Amino acid sequence: MKIEGKQRIWMDYQKEIADDHFFYVRSCVRQNFFPGSEKTFLRILQSELQKDIYENPSHTTCSGIGYHADIVPFETSMTMVARQFALMTEAGYENFTTSCITSFGLYSEVLETWHHFPETEQKTRDFLYKATGRTFKKPSNVSHASDIIFKFRKKISEKGKYRLINRQTGQPLRVVEHIGCHYSKMFPSKGVGGAEYPYVLTGMIDEWGGEVIDYPERRHCCGFGFRQYFVQANRGFSISCSKKKFESMEPYKPDMILTNCPGCPMFLDRWQYAISEMEGKTYGDNGYGIPVLTYEELAGLVLGYDPWDLGLQVHQVPIEPLLEKIGIPYDPEMKFRNISGQDIGRPESPSFLKFYPEKV
Amino acid sequence: MNFRVLGMKSFGYTITKDRQIDFDQNDRKVTGYINAIESSIRLCIGCGSCTGTCSAGHFTDFNIRRVITLVQRGETDQLKKEIRKCMLCGKCQLVCPRGVNLRNLILTIHNILETYGI
Amino acid sequence: MPDLYNKLFEDVRVREGLKACLNCGTCTAICPAAEFYDYQPRRIVDILQTKDDSQIEALLKSDTIWYCGECMSCVTRCPRGNAPGKLIQALRSLSQDLGYFTESEKGRQQLAIKRTIGKWILEYGYCLFPSEILPGLHPEQGPIWEWEYQHIEAVMTRLGANYKGTGPGILRKIPDEALDEIYKIFEVTGGISRFDKIEEFSKKKAREMGMDMESGTNDDYVKFIYTVNSGNHTKKNED
Amino acid sequence: MNKTAIIIGGGVAGMETAIQLLRLGIEVYLIEKESRLGGHLNSWDHLFPNRRDSKEVSEYLQLGMNEGISLHLNAEIDTLWNDKKKFNIKLKDGTRLNSDALVIATGYEVFDARKKEEYGYGIYDNVITSVELEEFLRNNELKRLFEGKTSKRVGIIHCVGSRDEKVGNLYCSKLCCVTGVKQAIEIRERMPDIEVFCFYMDLRMFDRYFEEMYFEAQEKWGVQFIRGRLSEAAENQDHTLLIKLEDTLTGLPLKMNVGLLILLVGFVPSPETRRLASMLGLKEGDDRFLCPADEHTLTNSTKIPGVFLAGTVKGPEGIAGTITDARAAALQVAAYLTSRE
């Protein structure tokens, strides 16, 4: 592998990412499964980087999941997107940033559609006005939240307490990066590093001291497939896709998987559990699985935030082996406590996937 | 260590193996035997004249052009299912622009599959 | 028979995503659905470019158009600028508009999606809400989700959510005025009428299949379409 | 007074045009940017379809390079202008030349395979181009390519940089197909234990004896042809490559590990061709190759009197076609100069 070849491609896909004053919209999946990540993102931007980032309480889903499960017509989704732009315009912002990759893809698709078929933009404006009385300006910059963390990766590194180094061996941690399909597969120029060798997560891993693994099924979808997961009868497709990725990455002995899409980390985390229950097979060291992190969680760890403030307790694949490797202290007693530190019970252990570290 | 244990949980769906042609996993011994015995198979250019004229193909989804490809890829399970549908009329052979001995090919496939108990 | 090809061509996604296919197969090569289902995105483009309405009708009534996961990997690779994934979206829309979706096992599942995701969008302002993700219907979510679900408020609060609260924040209650706005958007743009069609055609189909269909997710028809997989979707591995 | 012509480009087209013009009694200046003549011919080992040594063709062309031709090697054009009477050229080294006619024979260059990002050229160790393979063949070092390799399988990929809107080249480069078949045979001939697969969409065996070569590759050498375009290549831990494509004749996706991937890179107009075209105001087609005054009847002249085209500046062409075209160009130049007397 010649890294210069990739570096040359990265040079070709330099993306404009706004520097400050962001209008932030949340993700359906991330809020449900990784709420700590959204919280951490805002904390990093506001407290560490002193950026202005605003959330309007009236913003909603972009309807992207419904759109890609095909129950929501394109016209409806375009108007939902237009409403978010209207809230941004009314609040005096121009830089739009999304927590979700499906949303990021949809915003990009809608803007491209309006560009190539201007009559669709006019129709959307009419729909929005009729339904809400609102008007809007198009954003001058659209970024995914991972673009912003990428942009400030050096600053995070400078302020950081930890590096992605195995403290026992002194070797860089081996990291699988998994990019959400809708980040750049539709519009390669909209993603940092393009579609074939995206650099957005690789850049963070490089900067924070880890080593990126390039394995054969790197580009494969996690298998979410919208309707393929939401309907139980189709879930075999979804899990089979993820399994294919695990089998392909396993020989490289990854220490963790890093993701930028909200759905992928949930599936890559939960399917490891389901595969272990269905087939008895576990991946990763000593039956603990391969920890799956969001970029917000990883940035938070680098900055020295408490793992339980980041929400690492709601992963099915336990995160403690990774914390041990990096040398991040954590209090096992506090893992499953409520906000006042009271005991609210603990999750059961899975049958095969180890969940509670042995020494606890 | 991982064991396959009885009493594994069922979630209402199953994990399946992909249906890609996995060239490295496929057993291509059969491919070798058939190519050695009826070597005209190599000359196929995938034009489909054979399928166009095929008697069985007019009544079933039998595709004799595809049979040749299945042999070359070592897709023996599919091959076995497919060749049962051939009526051995031999019309395909008359139209093949590369002179592939298709009738003998089908007989060879039958023989090889039988000989090796596939 | 309606003028299917021209109807499809009204969809901007078809105008954008259907150029001249040269049947090279770069799309099928990396399509996750092609790996696990009897499916080839190449065939979709090939059939549409015939403009043959009888073939298109068969497609609209088949399981074939419901296998795609819309990852759009095909879009990156096509050497002719086709977008099979976008064509699938247009086909699915038309199949629902005409009621053809109830003719296939996978198509019928649209009702289950409408009654979950569709309902939640209008009710919560988001496609998902934790109290709706029942561990029983999502066993793969594991013991961790069971625990979260049991202590949903405590866990979400611990993780910094503004659970069902007012003002901004994670999993907040979306203000009623905002929910009204999105309902109106769905009304004027055809979203509600799509929902109504899914209901109406499904009801007809349920009657035809002799099944009971109420309005929730618990009746026989919805349970049936949600859980049953005939197993006839991967030709290579059958028998 | 002697009539003069300047030929820009000392590859096959330029050399043959020079030889023929000299025969027709025209004084010739031949300008070549490299230190030696021959252009791309120097990169090929053996030529299709009869697989003769390319050196024989080089020798034929060299024989024609007698004293009558005023040769300028390592020569780069600085400025070029037409003062109604003459074409004037100033070279970067200060040399000034002028002539009554001008022949553009600056040819093509091969497609930059790095632009097909998903094939990993320039990233993965065992992805090479068809041009690089020729070098191994010419130096008799084919075995070296397989030293220490775990896979004895080669994939030859057709249409790399051709018939591909993604890289901006909609056209067919027409000679890659036969090159691939030739190289497949050569590999099998020299290393019979290597399995060779050609991945194609259409095999365009358009010229005399090409189809026969394809037949021979299948019958005698057991080269296997799979219809489907490579979608992506990824590197395995042992540096072999996992390739994915659709086997379109079965309608199934196919994956395969190969030890070596050979990319049949197509033609693109050389930067010099495009630079001269813009200096002179010559018309480029949608494919960026230069347009003759008429595709069927005025195949070598341009809209500018006295400016002529020879060889691959007009699009992909093989050695035989290029030599034929160069002769046609020479005749048209001579006819033009005679008509001005």
- Which residues on C lie below 8 Å from B16 (Cβ)? 36, 234, 237
> At residue A291, does pLDDT exceed 50?
yes
Q: Is D315 a residue whose pLDDT tops 80?
A: yes
Sequence-ordered strand ranges (E) for chain D: 4-8, 27-31, 46-47, 52-53, 69-72, 77-82, 87-91, 96-99, 101-104, 108-110, 127-129, 153-160, 195-200, 224-227, 232-235, 241-247, 252-258, 260-265, 267-269, 307-309
Residue-wise pLDDT for B74-96, tens only, equals 999 999 999 999 999 999 999 99
The whole-angstrom distance between C47's CA and the closest CA on chain A is 21
Neighbours of chain B (3+ CB pairs under 8 A): A, C, D
CATH number at residue D97: 3.50.50.60
Is the backbone of residue D327 left (phi > 0), alpha (psi -120 to 50) or beta? alpha
The reply to whether residue D246 touches residue C26, judged by beta carbons under 8 angstroms, is yes
Domain identity same for D147 and D246 = yes
Instruction: Determine contact: D204 vs chain C, CB below 8 A.
Output: no
Q: Do the Cβ atoms of D248 and C31 come within 8 Å?
A: no
Tell if the CB–CB gap between C237 and B19 is shorter than 8 Å: yes
User: At D67, is the pLDDT very low, low, confident or very high (cuts 50, 70, 90)?
Assistant: confident
Using the 8-state DSSP alphabet, how is residue C117 labeled? I
Same domain (yes/no): D174, D317: no
Q: Find the CB nearest C154 among A75, A221, A338.
A: A338
Cβ-count burial of C15 within 10 angstroms (0-12 exposed, 13-18 middle, 19+ buried)?
Answer: middle
CB contact under 8 A, A274 and B12: no
Residues D262 and D276 in one domain: no
Q: Are residues D260 and D276 in the same domain?
A: no
Q: Rounded CA gap, A273 and D152, in Å?
A: 39
Q: Which of D266, D290, D320 corresponds to the end of one domain?
A: D266
Taken in order of first residue, the domains within chain C and their CATH numbers are: 4-99 (1.10.1060.10), 107-227 (no CATH)
Q: pLDDT per residue over D248-304, tens digit each?
A: 999 999 999 999 999 999 999 999 999 999 999 999 999 999 999 999 999 999 999
User: Which domains, ranges and CATH numbers included, belong to chain A?
Assistant: 18-145 (1.20.1050.140), 153-334 (3.40.50.11810)
- At residue A138, what are phi and psi to the nearest 5 degrees? -75, 145
Q: Is A200 helix (H, G, I), strand (E, B) or coil?
A: helix
Angle at D251 between CA D248 and CA D254, to 5 degrees: 75
pLDDT given at position D148: 87
Does residue B29 sit at the D interface (CB-CB below 8 Å)?
no
Say whether both D139 and D231 belong to one domain.
yes
Does one domain contain both D138 and D255?
yes
Q: What tokens were used for D255?
A: 């994956």
D112 contacts chain A (CB < 8 A): no
Q: Give the pLDDT of residue B117.
A: 85
Instruction: Name which of D218, D227, D256 is nearest B23 (Cβ-Cβ).
Output: D256
The 3-state DSSP class for residue D128 equals strand
Q: What's the pLDDT at C217? A: 79
CA distance A205 to A2: 18
Q: How many separate domains does chain D show?
A: 2
A280 inside 8 A of chain B by CB: yes
C236 Cα to chain B: minimum distance (Å): 6
Element (H, E) at C196: helix C191-208
pLDDT in tens, A37-83: 999 999 999 999 999 999 999 999 999 999 999 999 999 999 999 99
Residues D164, D247, single domain; the answer is: yes
Q: H/E element holding D179?
A: helix D176-190
> What per-residue confidence (pLDDT) applies to C1?
64
Could you tell me the sign of the dihedral formed by the alpha carbons of A249, A255, A260, A265, in that order? positive
Backbone angles phi, psi at D138, to 5 degrees: -65, -40
What's the pLDDT band for B3 if we cut at 50, 70, 90? very low
Residue tagged 């399995």 (tokens)? D195
Cross-chain Cβ contact C117/A232 below 8 Å: no
Contacts of A185 in chain C (CB under 8 A): 71-73, 75-76
Contacts of A243 in chain B (CB under 8 A): 15
Q: Which CATH number fits domain B29-115: 1.20.210.10, 3.40.640.10, 1.10.645.10, 1.10.1060.10?
A: 1.10.1060.10
Q: Are D157 and D302 part of one and the same domain?
A: no
**So what's the pLDDT on residue B6?**
54
| C-alpha dihedral sign at A225, A226, A227, A233 | positive
Per-residue pLDDT, averaged over C117-130, amounts to 98
Partner-chain contact A196 D117, CB within 8 Å: yes
Amino acid at site D69: I
* Residue B7 banded pLDDT, cuts 50, 70, 90: low
Distance from CA of B21 to the nearest CA of C (A): 9
Q: What DSSP state is assigned to residue C118? A: I
- Contact of B47 with chain D, judged by CB distance below 8 Å, is answered with no
Provide the pLDDT confidence category of residue C239 given band limits of 50, 70 and 90.
Answer: very low
Which of B39, B42, B66 shows the shortest C-beta gap to D249? B66
Instruction: Provide the pLDDT for residue B2.
Output: 40
State how far the Cα of D5 lies from the Cα of D30, in Å rounded to an integer.
9
C134 in contact with chain A, both atoms CB, cutoff 8 A: no
Instruction: Enumerate neighbours of A (3 or more CB pairs within 8 A).
Output: B, C, D
Q: Under an 8 A CB cutoff, do B8 and A234 touch?
A: no
Cis peptide before D269 (omega within 30 of 0): no
Q: How far is CA D328 from the centre of its chain?
A: 19
Q: What is the pLDDT of residues B33-82, one digit of tens each?
A: 999 999 999 999 999 999 999 999 998 999 999 999 999 999 999 999 99
Domain boundary among D217, D233, D266: D266
Kindly state whether A281 is in contact with chain B, defined as any CB-CB distance less than 8 angstroms: yes
Minimum distance, in Å, between the CA of residue B40 and any CA atom of chain C: 26
- Is the Cβ pair A316, C143 closer than 8 Å? yes
Q: Which residue of A has its CA nearest to D125?
A: A1
Q: How far is D201 from chain B (nearest CA, A)?
A: 11
Q: Name residue, tokens 């099924």.
A: A217
- Per-residue model confidence as pLDDT tens digits over A105-153: 999 999 999 999 999 999 999 999 999 999 999 999 999 999 999 999 9
- Contacting residues of A for D117, CB less than 8 Å apart: 9, 194-197
pLDDT at residue C200 greater than cutoff 60: yes
Cβ-Cβ contacts under 8 Å, C228 against chain B: none
Determine the residue among C21, C22, C28 to mutate to test chain D binding: the one whose Cβ has the most chain D Cβ atoms within 10 Å: C28
Per-chain mean pLDDT for chain D: 96
Q: Are D257 and D233 in contact (CB under 8 A)?
A: no
Domain that holds residue D321: 4-107+270-339
Can you tell me the distance from the alpha carbon of D131 to that of D88, in angstroms, rounded to the nearest whole number?
35
| Inter-chain contacts counted by CB atoms under 8 A, chains A and C | 274
Query: What's the whole-number average pLDDT of chain A?
Result: 97
pLDDT at C238 over 50: no
- Quick check: D165 and C79 CB within 8 A? yes
Cα-Cα-Cα-Cα dihedral sign, residues B41, B43, B44, B50: negative
Residue C236's pLDDT is: 57
Q: What is the pLDDT of residues A90-102, one digit of tens each?
A: 999 999 999 999 9
Domain locations along chain B: 29-115
Cβ atoms of residues A175 and A256 within 8 Å? yes
What is the pLDDT, as a whole number, of residue A359?
Answer: 61
* Interchain CB contact of B16 with C (< 8 Å): yes
Instruction: Please judge whether D254 and C29 are an interchain contact, meaning their C-beta atoms are less than 8 angstroms apart.
Output: yes
Q: What sign has the CA pseudo-torsion C97, C103, C105, C108?
A: positive
C210 DSSP assignment: T
- Does the CB of A7 have a partner CB in chain D at under 8 Å? no
- Angle among Cα D155, D157, D161 to the nearest 5 degrees reads 155
| pTM for the whole structure | 0.95
The residue among A248, D151, D246 whose CA lies nearest residue B73 is: D246
Q: Does A182 touch chain C (CB under 8 A)?
A: yes
Q: Are residues D122 and D103 in the same domain?
A: no
Does B3 touch chain C if contact means CB atoms closer than 8 Å?
Answer: no
Q: Could you tell me if D232 lies within 8 Å of chain C, comparing CB atoms?
A: yes
Q: Does the CB of B66 have a partner CB in chain D at under 8 Å?
A: yes
Q: What is the pLDDT of residue C33?
A: 98
The answer to whether residues D151 and D90 belong to one domain is no
CA–CA gap between residue D330 and residue A187 (Å, rounded): 49
